Amino acid sequence: MEIVRIFDTTLRDGEQSPGFSMHREEKLQLARQLEQLGVDVIEAGFPIASPGDLDAVRAVAAEIKGCSVAALCRTRREDVEAGLRALEPAAHPRVHVFLATSDLHLKHKLRISREQALDQITTHVRFARERCAEVEFSAEDASRSAMDYLCAVSRAAVEAGATIINLPDTVGYSTPAEYGEIFRRVRAALGDRTGVTLSAHCHDDLGLAVANSLAAVEAGARQVECTINGIGERAGNASLEEIAVALHVRQSHYGCDTHIALEKIYPSSRLLTSITGVSVPPNKAVVGSNAFAHEAGIHQDGILKNPLTYEIIVPEKVGVPARSLVFGKHSGRSALRARLDELGYQATDAELAECYTRATARADANKQVTDRDLLAIIHEVRRGRASAEANAAAR
């Protein structure tokens, strides 16, 4: 079973999204959780951005020993030097150098030629590699770059000392078929070089970040860059939890797994939401409040008979305490009986029928029926039936 390394960029790309900024202690707290989660690389920040970010990266580098710690740097000497200073205490440092390679970015953002970009990449990757054993190069906007040039850049970066080549879909523009083909072409261009890993970094502007990342894995990528809860610039990054669970559940398809401790996924998600104050949508895959909640009666009946009927992974596997059978207007009697049993009330068939009528009426009015509602309903039903029996006996 091949391993896909998980490069977590929650502390860098994730933090760049509006409303998700973290101070030093919060970064440290989350970094400790990421280490327990089993990520292979923590990208701790962008040291040149500010003295505070450099300090935070250095603090993470000093404390985290179980995985690599990366610092992001532009192809500028001062950036690489700042990254190296921040990574001095790291047990496993990685300098992550990037430069855009699409003609759009070269012309309108950087205002340099392809030749100038290639020279910057070669110079600064070599400079970083002379001072750090592990160097990653990212071709920003790779998915909109000319294929021949992207291949040339990748070869040059490897020859300069990069051992990881990242091909980002920076603006979430690509489709899975297109993105996979990029990796196949670059792999072919690099030949049979040993010790070089291709990496995917996808954004979710078209909702395809996870699909594109998995397409890259199928095409030979053995590192995926992602974030907890999929946070990141604009629509976000590929979600770590979705990629890790997909590779686990579909091992027979992908032939790969990760080092992620799946049971730590949900606690990691909750920690991030507590730090940022931003909750995930209820329908968010794996970690959303509805991910293991079932309301439809047919689904609930199936779950009660065999959870595999409507769950491809048990909630406890990813750290969710338990599934939830939610009673609403679509629910059935099986779920109602099971919930009443859990609340300590073994209803007779007659009581269940009456409770079901009342509960569905309340669900129509209130959309959802809580445990408090169910307790009130069973008490009302039993009081009503006791009163009816007493009246019948009196007559």
Q: Tell me: the pLDDT tens digits for 250-286?
A: 999 999 999 999 999 999 999 999 999 999 999 999 9
Following DSSP, what letter does each residue of 225-291 receive, concatenated?
Answer: EEBGGG--STT-B-BHHHHHHHHHHTHHHH-EE-S--GGGHHHHHHHHHHHH--PPPTT-TTTSTTT
Q: What is the pLDDT of residues 97-119, one digit of tens each?
A: 999 999 999 999 999 999 999 99
Give how far the C-alpha of residue 372 lies from the chain's centroid of Cα atoms, to the nearest Å. 34
Instruction: State mean pLDDT over 78-94.
Output: 98
Q: In this structure, what are the phi and psi dihedrals at residue 23, rounded to the nearest 5 degrees? A: -85, 175
Mean pLDDT of the 363-370 span: 81
CA dihedral over 196, 4, 26, 89, signed as positive or negative:
negative
Among the candidates 276, 310, 342, a domain finishes at 276
pLDDT at 296 (0 to 100): 82
- 138 and 197 co-located in one domain: yes
Structure-token pair, residue 24: 């030093």
Residue 150 has pLDDT above 90, yes or no: yes
On whether the CB atoms of residues 217 and 188 are closer than 8 A, the answer is: no
CATH number at residue 31: 3.20.20.70
Q: Which amino acid is at 72?
A: L
| pLDDT attached to residue 173 | 97
More confident residue, 181 or 301: 181
Residue 368, pLDDT above cutoff 80: no
Q: Are residues 214 and 324 in the same domain?
A: no
| Mean pLDDT along residues 56-75 | 98
Cβ neighbourhood burial of 272 (10 Å; 0-12, 13-18, 19+): buried
* 156 within 8 A of 128, measured Cβ to Cβ: no
Residue 286 belongs to some domain of the structure: no
Please indicate, yes or no, whether residues 264 and 313 belong to a single structural domain of this protein.
no
For 318, the domain range is 293-394
Could you tell me if 21 and 67 lie in one domain? yes
Instruction: Please report the beta strands in 157-229, taking only residues with DSSP state E, as ranges in sequence order.
Output: 164-169, 197-202, 223-226
Q: Provide the pLDDT for residue 32.
A: 98
With respect to residue 107, please indicate whether it lies within any of the assigned structural domains.
Answer: yes
Angle formed at CA 152 by CA 150 and CA 156, multiple of 5 degrees: 115
301 with 263, same domain: the answer is no
Calculate the alpha carbon distances from 301 to 216, 336, 353 in Å: 38, 10, 16
Say if residue 211 is in the same domain as residue 318. Answer: no
pTM of the model as a whole: 0.89
Residues 200 and 298 in one domain: no
Whether 297 is in a domain gets the answer yes
Q: Which one has a higher pLDDT value, 219 or 328?
A: 219
Whether 169 and 199 share a structural domain: yes
373 is a domain residue: yes
Decide if 141 contacts 100 (C-beta within 8 A).
yes
**pLDDT-derived band at 295, boundaries 50, 70, 90:** confident
pLDDT-above-70 percentage for the chain: 100
Does 251 share its domain with 151? yes
Q: What digits encode the pLDDT tens for the residues 189-230?
A: 999 888 999 999 999 999 999 999 999 999 999 999 999 999
The pLDDT of residue 369? 83
Task: Taking residues 136-155, report their average pLDDT.
Answer: 98
Q: What is the helix (H) or strand (E) element at residue 139, kind and residue range? A: strand 135-140
Residues 74 and 216 in one domain: yes
Is residue 182 one of the residues assigned to a domain? yes
Question: What pLDDT band is residue 323 in, cutting at 50, 70 and 90?
Answer: confident
Q: What is the pLDDT of residue 326?
A: 76
The segment with the largest mean pLDDT, out of 73-82, 325-334, 366-375, is 73-82
* CA-based torsion, 330, 334, 335, 340: positive or negative: positive
pLDDT at 386 over 90: no
- List all residues 6 or more positions away from 322 whose beta carbon is below 8 Å from its beta carbon: 292, 315, 316
Does residue 247 fall inside a structural domain?
Answer: yes
Pair (139, 213) in one structural domain: yes
pLDDT at position 203 is 98
227: which 2 tokens? Answer: 């974030």
> 300 and 263 in one domain?
no
Q: Is the dihedral of CA 122, 162, 237, 61 positive or negative?
A: negative
When divided into structural domains, the chain yields a total of: 2
What is the rounded average pLDDT for all residues in the chain? Answer: 94
pLDDT for position 227 = 98
Whether residue 284 is contained in a domain is answered as no
Q: For position 76, what pLDDT does the model report?
A: 98
Query: Which of 216, 241, 276 finishes a domain?
Result: 276
Check residue 209 and give its pLDDT: 98
Q: Answer with the one of 214, 248, 276 that is the final residue of a domain.
A: 276
- At 60, list the tokens: 């993470």
Tell me if 281 is assigned to some domain. no
